[in-house]
Structure 1
Amino acid sequence: MDKPIVKNLGLKPYLQTYERMHQFSQTRNSQTPDEIWLVEHPPVFTQGKVGKAEHLLHTTTIPIIQTDRGGQITYHAPGQQIMYILLDLKRLNIGIRDTVGYLENSVIATLANYNIVAMTKENAPGVYVNGKKICSLGLHITRGCTLHGLALNIDMDLTPFNNINPCGYAGLEMTQMKDYIGQINQHEIANFMVNEFITQLTSGTK
């Protein structure tokens, strides 16, 4: 397989990125190279397509945006590394379940590189450390291609998560890499994670 093109978008408004992601997916064809976008967003709550209003516990000044990804409500802010994957699964000949596994495994391997032991939970997509969620993920498939991806908490203000049931789970505690390691180099972490994901993807499509 040809390796996806990796783009580091920096800090971008959520809605702008969301629209750009859909535009890319609507105009791509069978020859369009896959892409992976690394991005951060200003503070925003995003609601999944089957998200329930009751998972927003308190109204705040933080905007809430309805999306078409899977999952319930979550929170994005600077210091959280987002990785959007724009992949043609039909061309790669892999399924959605495998793709979720590659995402989760790439995060677990990244955290292990910093001596943080993480794991997945059955029927609760994402990655967890000591029972607390450190990475959320949600995907959408259109025309056999993926949109959205994962969000890894690195060094951010976790307080706004208290205003929601994260990913629809009441009482779920959130955590971040800063709670476990001293020195944070987000660029280094992001590069390791994306390279690990591409390795997972490559090994899965041989």
Structure 2
Amino acid sequence: MVRHLGAQVSYDETWQAMRTFTEQRTTDTPDELWVLEHSPVYTLGQAGMESHVLNAAGIPLVRSDRGGQVTYHGPGQVVVYCLINLRRIGLYVKSYVAMLEQAIIDVLTSVGLAQACRKAGAPGVYVPGRCVSPVVAPPDELVKIAALGVKIRNGCSYHGLALNVDMDLQPFLGINPCGYEGLQTSDIRHCGVQLSTNTVGELLVSTLQQALSDAAKQHEYCSA
């Protein structure tokens, strides 16, 4: 099931709703994808260090129960929260994270950003500096365009991914994104592609649905 929650959605309220959904779900509860844009907020992972927040400039800071360090959510960024029973489809955390990254890469490739890639030891999706205008990094330096944050409870995931589409990127300068000093961030628009957040959201949902379906079929085949 896909739920479109709209724009300017409260982070706190959505986080609590995800936790409640996960706590109350049974082995038969259908999986859900929640698609939205948040009001401006910095979120810090459960083991995150506040020292990575350099200048919040009035933007609220929320300590969450996801993994990872600090990131920014705001208008123009597509967030997809994945409430998935990973045990049911036979996915472990490492393969699940790889699936999320690949879905983002596939979407970016489909809209003309074939240079999108992973970065060893740093979950998320990146593009080379040469893809970004105005220039924010050397041509071969990787610039972050999408972040991941997951939480697993009783074999079920919540939180998910955030892909920068058409944002005010200034708030990223107030943090060490994902805990990496000097890491630059960008969005799809600054890579020369004009798309709405709704369009990118639909592409992400359909790609994720196909990936999850493929994983479930593979698990069923291997279990037969």
Counterpart among 177, 189, 198 of residue 200 in structure 2: 189
Runs of 4+ aligned residues of structure 1 deviating over 6 Å after TM superposition are none
Following superposition, the deviation at residue 53 of structure 1 comes to 1.4
Distance in 2, matches of 1:121 and 1:195, equals 24
Where does 1:77-96 land on structure 2 (aligned, <5 Å)? Answer: 77-96=74-93
**Shift of the alpha carbon at 1:92?**
1.3
Provide the residue aligned with 2:119 in structure 1. Answer: 121
Counterpart of 1:44 (choices 41, 53, 56) is 41
Q: Which amino acid aligns with 1:101?
A: A
- Tell me by how many angstroms 1:182 deviates: 4.4
Say which is worse superposed, 174-183 or 135-144, in terms of deviation.
Answer: 174-183
Q: Which residue of 2 aligns with 1:111?
A: 108
Following TM superposition, by how much is the alpha carbon of 1:21 offset from its aligned partner in structure 2, in angstroms? 0.6
- Provide the C-alpha distance between the structure 1 equivalents of 2:20 and 2:47, rounded to a whole number of angstroms: 22
Q: How does 1:24-39 map to 2 (within 5 A)?
A: 24-39=21-36
Which residue identity is paired with 2:6? G
User: Is the 1:45–1:64 contact (alpha carbons within 8 Å) kept by the matching residues of 2?
Assistant: yes
Decide which structure has the larger Cα Rg and report it: 2
Match status 1:155 vs 2:166: yes
Query: In structure 1, what is the Cα distance between the partners aligned to 2:103 and 2:15?
Result: 23
- Tell me, what secondary structure is at the counterpart of 2:157? strand
CA distance in 1, matches of 2:118, 2:56: 30
Identity %: 41
Quick one: which of 60, 63, 67 aligns to 2:64?
67
Unpaired segments ≥5 residues, structure 1? none
Segment of structure 1 superposing worse, 25-34 or 53-62: 53-62
Q: Which residue of 1 aligns with 2:17?
A: 20
Q: Indicate whether 1:202 and 2:186 are aligned.
A: no
Q: Residue 123 of structure 1: CA displacement? A: 1.0
Measure, in 1, the Cα distance between the counterparts of 2:56 and 2:108: 33
TM-superposition CA deviations, 1:117-153 (whole Å, max 9, x none): 2000111000000010000001001111001000000
| Pairs aligned (count) | 202
TM-score (norm 2): 0.88
Flag structure 2 segments of 5+ consecutive residues without an equivalent: 129-141, 218-224
TM-superposed deviation, 1:94: 1.1
**Contact (CA 8 Å) 1:41, 1:76: kept in 2 or not?**
yes
Q: What is the rounded CA distance, in whole Å, between the counterparts of 2:117 and 2:17 in structure 1?
A: 32
1:170 partner letter: E
Q: Secondary structure at the match of 1:205?
A: helix
Question: For 1:57-99, what per-residue CA distance to the aligned partner results, in whole angstroms no more than 9, with x for missing partners?
Answer: 1242100001000000000001000000000111111111111
Instruction: Give the distance between the partners of 1:180 and 1:73, measured in 2 at CA.
Output: 23
More moved, 185-194 vs 64-73: 185-194
Secondary structure of 1:46's match? strand
Partner of 2:98: 101
Distance, in Å, in 2 between the alignment partners of 1:78 and 1:180 is 18
CA contact (8 A) 1:78 1:156 kept: yes
Kindly tell me: are residues 183 and 59 of structure 1, through their superposed partners in 2, closer, same or farther at Cα, counting changes over 3 Å? closer
Taking the aligned partners of 1:91 and 1:23, their CA distance within structure 2 comes to: 19
